[in-house]
Amino acid sequence: MTQTVCGILLAGGQSRRMGGGDKCLRELAGKTILQHVIERAAPQVQALAINANGDPQRFEAYDLPVVADSIEGYAGPLAGVLAGMEWVAAHKPSCELMATFATDAPFAPRDLVPRLLDGLAAENADIAVASSAGRSHPVFALWPVHLRKALREAMIGEEVRKVDVFTARYRVATVEWNARGMDPFYNVNRPDDYEHARQFLQA
């Protein structure tokens, strides 16, 4: 790995479709969904932090830095990306790139970072984004930390909130994963999704 990568776990959402609260702290097969994601993400990065708003004490058991959005008002995943970039720049300046992981995806790929790095290099791209079954997953991506100023300007000056509106300004490599069996980017958004994931893990 020629470039150093740090990771951010995006847990800043409001989980409305799961009835509110932190869906990543729901238990699934004896572990929280967040623990499943951490176990997959941590070996791939030099350092890992959680992006979450509200009381950070609820994540104390995970022994990871908790970084709140630097833009108020639950501005979506882009706000988490920005907060992560700013945290990496301040605390892990050797990391040129930052990987983002959704915290509601308990089957996240164990090879996310190396494959996104390969995609970035192969296409000489600025950003690499994961995809499966023909669908892009922009919360699973590799970002250059130096874009933090451009992202902050887009979010504050232009009120950009959608990830694809921002990434469209750059060269993006899309890396495809096999979705047979269980899609590695399957996310637990609703109670039905949670039940399906639970049954899959028990099978």
> CATH number of the domain that 110 lies in?
3.90.550.10
Question: Measuring CA to CA, which residue among 79, 93, 48, 60 is closest to residue 156?
Answer: 79
The structure's pTM equals 0.92
Question: By three-state DSSP, how is residue 116 classified?
Answer: helix
pLDDT digits (tens, 9 = 90+) for 84-138: 999 999 999 999 999 999 999 999 999 999 999 999 999 999 999 999 999 999 9
Contact 39, 98 (CB under 8 A): no
CA nearest 9: which of 126, 147, 108?
Answer: 108
Tens of pLDDT, residues 3-53: 799 999 999 765 444 345 688 999 988 999 999 999 999 999 999 999 999
Phi, psi of 27 (to 5 degrees): -85, 140
| CA separation for the pair 101, 112 (Å, rounded) | 9
Contact yes or no for 98/124 (Cβ under 8 A): no
The pLDDT of residue 196: 87
Q: Which domain holds residue 131?
A: 5-202
Q: pLDDT averaged over the chain?
A: 92
Quote the crossing angle between the two packed helices 77-91 and 148-157, to the nearest 10°: 140
- pLDDT for the residue numbered 136: 95
Residue 139, pLDDT score: 95
Confidence of residue 180 (pLDDT cuts 50, 70, 90): confident
Please return the burial class of 65, using the count of CB atoms within 10 Å of its CB with bins 0-12, 13-18 and 19+. Answer: middle
User: Residue 83 and residue 124: Cα distance in Å, rounded?
Assistant: 25
Question: What type of residue sits at position 153?
Answer: E
Sequence-distant (6+) residues with CB within 8 A of 50 are 8, 9, 11, 34, 59, 62, 64, 65, 66, 67, 103
pLDDT above 70: residue 195: yes
pLDDT reported for residue 13: 62
In this predicted model, what pLDDT tens digit does every residue of 1-13 receive, in sequence order?
Answer: 457 999 999 997 6
- As for how many domains the chain has, the answer is 1
How far is the C-alpha of 129 from the C-alpha of 58, rounded, in Å?
A: 30
Quick: pLDDT tens for 56-92. 999 999 999 999 999 987 789 999 999 999 999 999 9
